[in-house]
């Protein structure tokens, strides 16, 4: 049961509810547009300003989209020559604590050691790791940031060891929930007044609960996200930002039924307002904005069930929950319709890792081609990238 719950909560961290709501909320788009027209802060200046007032700035990203990883790299590149603040640690979801020594060696090395970055990404909590070129580039940008700043910046890996051990079918000792482990790694920096950029999937960074209904017991199993834990412990030290995106299911972005590539949040209401504002890159607080009152179920296109709203089965869900309950700010980069999928880095898949993936899949993966087929099956939005890789000459 414990192992099952581990992976249930892991899958929830990557998925949003996918039930379709009949609610249409396209009214009052002008309210959103008027608000956006009054905002002038660039994404870079927005994050920089938050570091003046908070110890932890959490960037909630969406997996399987290159634009959010590229933004992390570009932010670090812009920040490296700015001496008005310093990031003491990048708290990184896609890495395991067992590789912290490798991460420290990487950051201290006189030149960027890509082989260490690749090993860290192999040990991310997915069957085939986190094999994206944009992730490698983000780690390189962090390394370069520390070198230019001439101060220590730590690549702080967040996943507890059992995540990897369970994935590999090894014996493991369950310690804390994944999110509790993340939060614990970050709290030490808050206690010492150091600055942390927390970059992880939005379901980890937001102030919310993960919940799974256990039919056997007729009750919910509930865990707080790292964002929830940190905001509860240090409400004046943590600021949570959502990198604006589309709806994401467990297999990546969900195809939309309209002309947009990705299904839009909140029935596209905010996206249309961003478009009316010229799709200008912005960062802004949602307090006292129309975004603050957007219902969570409207945002995610789902309807609450009687079970979810019950007061007797441990459910954490509330029908009145809005975005302001989960996040503090939003960064808009560009239209969701222009988002792109990440590029797979083939060198992640050395012979040893392919054998490891084969063990994880009961022997069904025996070659790099099998790995690519697995990725395409599990995350069909990456199909164009797989087709591109098939055209590359064999090395």
Query: Per residue in 95-138, pLDDT tens?
Result: 999 999 999 999 999 999 999 999 999 999 999 999 999 999 99
Query: Per residue in 299-337, pLDDT tens?
Result: 988 899 999 999 999 999 999 999 999 999 999 999 988
25-39, 56-70, 114-128, 331-345: least confidently modelled range: 25-39
Instruction: Indicate the pLDDT class of residue 166, thresholds 50, 70 and 90.
Output: very high
Contact 206, 200 (CB under 8 A): no
Query: pLDDT averaged over the chain?
Result: 91
User: What is the reported pLDDT for 235?
Assistant: 97
User: What is the reported pLDDT for 15?
Assistant: 41
User: What is the reported pLDDT for 337?
Assistant: 86
DSSP class per residue in 17-57: --PPP-----TTHHHHHHHHHT----HHHHHHHHHHH-SEE
Decide: pTM greater than 0.85.
Answer: yes
| Residue keyed to tokens 């020594």 | 101
Tokens of 141: 């940008």
Nearest CA-CA partner of 248 in 10, 15, 7, 3: 15
Query: How much of the chain, in percent, has pLDDT values that exceed 70?
Result: 89
Query: Per residue in 191-243, pLDDT tens?
Result: 999 999 999 999 999 999 999 999 999 999 999 999 999 999 999 999 999 99
Mean pLDDT, to the nearest integer, of 4-25?
44
Q: Establish how many alpha carbons lie within 13 A of residue 114's alpha carbon, considering only the half-sphere containing its beta carbon.
A: 11
Give the C-alpha separation, 267 to 260, whole Å: 12
| Residue keyed to tokens 């081609």 | 369
Query: Per residue in 248-262, pLDDT tens?
Result: 766 666 665 545 557
Nearest CA-CA partner of 326 in 241, 394, 264, 260: 241
Phi-psi region of 332 (alpha: psi -120 to 50; beta: other; left: phi over 0): beta
Contact 179, 223 (CB under 8 A): yes
Instruction: Indicate the pLDDT class of residue 263, thresholds 50, 70 and 90.
Output: confident
User: What is the reported pLDDT for 310?
Assistant: 97
Mean pLDDT, to the nearest integer, of 173-178?
89
Tokens of 171: 């014996």
Q: DSSP secondary-structure letter at 361? A: T
Give the C-alpha separation, 13 to 204, whole Å: 7
Question: What are the C-alpha distances in Å from 330 to residues 29, 242, 385?
Answer: 17, 5, 29
C-alpha of 249 from chain center: 13
Tokens of 134: 């944009």
Is residue 20 pLDDT above 70, yes or no?
A: no
Pairing of strands 89-96, 219-224: unpaired
Q: Establish how many alpha carbons lie within 13 A of residue 61's alpha carbon, considering only the half-sphere containing its beta carbon.
A: 22
Query: Per residue in 356-390, pLDDT tens?
Result: 999 999 999 999 999 999 999 988 889 899 999 98
């Amino acid at each position: 049961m414990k192992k099952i719950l581990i992976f249930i909560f892991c899958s929830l961290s990557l998925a949003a509810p996918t039930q379709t709501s009949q609610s249409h909320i396209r009214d009052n788009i002008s309210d959103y547009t008027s608000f956006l027209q009054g905002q002038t802060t660039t994404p870079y200046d927005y994050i920089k300003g938050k570091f003046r007032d908070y110890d932890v700035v959490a960037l909630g990203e969406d997996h399987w989209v290159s634009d959010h990883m590229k933004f992390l790299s570009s932010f670090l590149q812009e920040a490296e020559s700015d001496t008005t603040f310093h990031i003491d640690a990048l708290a990184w979801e896609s890495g395991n604590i067992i590789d912290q020594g490798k991460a420290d060696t990487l950051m201290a090395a006189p030149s960027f050691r890509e082989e260490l970055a690749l090993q860290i990404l192999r040990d991310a909590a997915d069957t085939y790791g986190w094999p994206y070129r944009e992730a490698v580039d983000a780690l390189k940008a962090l390394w370069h940031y520390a070198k230019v700043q001439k101060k220590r910046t730590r690549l702080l890996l967040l996943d507890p060891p059992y995540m990897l051990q369970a994935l590999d079918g090894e014996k493991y000792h369950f310690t804390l929930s994944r999110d509790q482990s993340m939060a614990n790694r970050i709290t030490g920096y808050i206690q010492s007044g150091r600055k942390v950029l927390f970059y992880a999937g939005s379901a980890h960074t937001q102030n919310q609960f993960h919940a799974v209904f256990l039919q056997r017991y007729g009750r919910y199993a509930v865990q707080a996200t790292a964002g929830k834990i940190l905001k509860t412990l240090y409400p004046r030290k943590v600021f949570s930002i959502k990198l604006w995106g589309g709806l994401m299911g467990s297999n990546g972005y969900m195809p939309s039924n309209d002309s947009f590539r990705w299904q839009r949040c909140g029935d596209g209401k905010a996206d249309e307002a961003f478009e009316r504002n010229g799709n200008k890159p912005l960062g802004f607080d949602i307090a006292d904005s129309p975004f603050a009152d957007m219902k969570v179920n409207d945002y995610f296109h789902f309807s609450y069930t009687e079970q979810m709203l019950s007061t007797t089965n441990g459910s954490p869900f509330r029908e009145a929950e809005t975005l302001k309950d989960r996040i503090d700010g939003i960064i808009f980069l560009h239209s969701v319709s222009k988002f792109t999928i990440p590029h797979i880095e083939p060198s992640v898949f050395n012979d040893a890792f392919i054998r490891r993936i084969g063990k994880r899949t009961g022997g069904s993966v025996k070659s790099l081609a099998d790995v690519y087929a697995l990725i395409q099956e599990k995350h069909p939005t990456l199909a164009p990238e797989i087709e591109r890789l098939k055209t590359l000459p064999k090395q």
